[in-house]
Amino acid sequence: MVVDTVLWSKLLTGMTLAFHSIFATVGVGVPLMIAIAEFVGIRKKDPHYILMAKRWTRGFVISVAVGVVTGTAIALQLALVWPNFMQLAGNVIALPLFMEVFAFFFEAIFLGIYMYTWDRFRNPYIHLLLTLPVVAGAGMSALFITTVNGFMNQPGGFVMEGGHFTAVNPLQAMFNAATPSKVFHVLTSAYLTGAALLAGIAAYVILRKGTSAYYKKALKLMMGVVLVFSLLTTIAGDVSAKFLAEHQPEKLAAAEWHFETESGADLIFLGWLNAEHKIMGALHFPKVLSFLAFGDFNAEVKGLEEFPPDEWPPLVVHYLFDFMAGIGFVILAVALLYFLFLFWKKRNELNKWLLRAIVVSTPLAFLGVEMGWFYAEVGRQPWIIRGYMRVEEAATSSPNVRILFFLFLLLYIVLGVMCVLVLRRLFRNKPAEAELAKLVKEKNVQSMEKSEPV
């Protein structure tokens, strides 16, 4: 039996990216939420927010541990599954891959210091400052790994000679034309998802156990962050679309099933294609694609007819693009509705239907991130390095890749189950209000001991 090594290589890498994206997104997004909670707690002198930072940090450490394993798996697979890609581009992407590892260690060191220095400083702002390198390290990690993806989409910083990349300028390769829009989109969506995760947890607990001051404050704080980053992610999406229209028009055309070059192009939402590539059952928004691409309702947008059919991205990316964008607008609508109910005294922002919508927004946010990454990767095909190397040229020819797929699948199942069990054990039967009362009691005892004469 002949093993389709290209297919199995795609499946293995896709599975790894799908699993890793969950923990990578948490790893980038949650540190900022911890910093915001501690800052608000110090400013308001409110122990609820301080407790949020403490509890969120405990859960965050578990996700970091799993993220390390999945990140290592990706690095391993680059060498084992895509050896020809690494042979060609290894000398170009080595610097950002090394810097990504450096950024992780930078974050991990300060995360450990942050965790074990609570109540060690008279000025609480000193402890707050320790969140800055954690947030920065997480952000730098996202930046450096995204530059690799940017290079694959918009390769540069080298000279092609004899089938090899020579005269490599790694900084030029890293900070290519794709980098700004991609990094902007990755960071805003990660912060949005981190906030949506914590807001969803708060809403879920309120639904299950009733309203408490701790979870009510957590929900309000995180929904504020969700609203801000929903708007910023929308802007990032617009910037990304304009980049694609200029630099990767075939990718945008595939996402919108835009087959013929025309001015005043319609935006296509959902629908399906028949055998002749005729669009059926879709919603058409007149001239919106032209505006999305160039900020002009009458601008000309290139169609897929401009490119050889063997260089068309898979047309299924249309659904990935639609779901990614649609989820973003749904989360924005939920956040707007929450604050409308909050400030409209006749409505209750803690009503069950709105809380359920906030809970549902959490998996939707992660699904949106997954759809975005799959659109970025699948939409670049048939290229692994756009214009230089095709996916089938980069993949391993070893039939053992199929065995690797099932071994890594087993690894991810074990990691996922262990992560859930540890998090449940960490917080089960440990309500926030009881922990807060214990902390306040301990602080009062410490204060009394300090005030007693020696």
CB atoms within 10 A of CB 242: 16
1 pLDDT exceeds 60? no
Residues 6+ apart with CB under 8 A from 12: 77, 81, 401, 404, 405, 408
Please name the helix (run of DSSP H) or strand (run of DSSP E) that holds residue 420, with its range, or none.
helix 401-427
pLDDT in tens, 428-446: 776 767 667 766 665 654 5
Task: Return the percentage of the chain with pLDDT > 70, whole number.
Answer: 93
The pair of three-digit structure tokens given for residue 106, joined into one six-digit string: 């930078």
β-pairing, 272-273 vs 389-390, is: unpaired
88 pLDDT exceeds 50? yes
Is residue 46 a part of any domain in this protein?
yes
Q: What is the dihedral of CA 262, 264, 268, 272, to 10 degrees?
A: -30
Identity at 239, one-letter amino acid code? V
Report the alpha-carbon distance of residue 41 to residue 35 in Å, rounded.
Answer: 10
Model confidence at 454, pLDDT cuts 50, 70, 90, reads very low
209 pLDDT exceeds 90? no
Is residue 152 a part of any domain in this protein?
yes
Q: Let me know: does 123 contact 181? Beta carbons within 8 Å.
A: no
Across 250-268, b (16+ Cβ under 10 Å) vs e yields bbbbbbbbbbeeeebbbbb
Question: Phi-psi bin for 257: left (phi > 0), alpha (psi -120 to 50), beta?
Answer: left
**What is the residue whose two structure tokens read 């699993």?**
19
What is the per-residue pLDDT for 440? 65
Residue predicted with more confidence, 235 or 448: 235
Identity at 397, one-letter amino acid code? S
Model confidence at 136, pLDDT cuts 50, 70, 90, reads very high
Mean pLDDT across the chain: 86
Report the alpha-carbon distance of residue 348 to residue 339 in Å, rounded.
Answer: 10
Is residue 54 a part of any domain in this protein?
yes
Nearest of 109, 166, 127 to residue 39 by alpha carbon = 127
Cross-strand bridge partners of residue 285: 267
Model confidence at 410, pLDDT cuts 50, 70, 90, reads very high
Q: Give the mean model confidence (pLDDT) for residues 311-325.
A: 90
Q: Give the mean model confidence (pLDDT) for residues 91-104.
A: 86
Q: How many domains does the chain have?
A: 1
What is the per-residue pLDDT for 401? 87
Is residue 282 a part of any domain in this protein?
no
Q: Give the mean model confidence (pLDDT) for residues 19-39.
A: 90
Is residue 281 a part of any domain in this protein?
no
The pair of three-digit structure tokens given for residue 198, joined into one six-digit string: 């914590």
Highest mean pLDDT among 58-72, 221-235, 251-265, 266-280: 221-235
Q: Let me know: does 193 contact 29? Beta carbons within 8 Å.
A: yes
Q: Let me know: does 270 contact 322? Beta carbons within 8 Å.
A: yes
Model confidence at 62, pLDDT cuts 50, 70, 90, reads confident
Q: Give the mean model confidence (pLDDT) for residues 213-223.
A: 90
Residues 6+ apart with CB under 8 A from 19: 70, 412, 415, 416
Is residue 97 a part of any domain in this protein?
yes
What is the per-residue pLDDT for 272? 86
Domain span including residue 166 = 5-261+302-451
Report the alpha-carbon distance of residue 153 to residue 422 in Å, rounded.
Answer: 38
Task: Return the percentage of the chain with pLDDT > 90, whole number.
Answer: 23
Report the alpha-carbon distance of residue 277 to residue 148 in Å, rounded.
Answer: 34
Please name the helix (run of DSSP H) or strand (run of DSSP E) that holds residue 419, with its range, or none.
helix 401-427
451 pLDDT exceeds 60? no
Identity at 444, one-letter amino acid code? N
Specify the pTM. Answer: 0.90
Is residue 279 a part of any domain in this protein?
no
Is residue 346 a part of any domain in this protein?
yes
What is the per-residue pLDDT for 348? 72
Cross-strand bridge partners of residue 272: 280
Please name the helix (run of DSSP H) or strand (run of DSSP E) that holds residue 20, with its range, or none.
helix 5-44
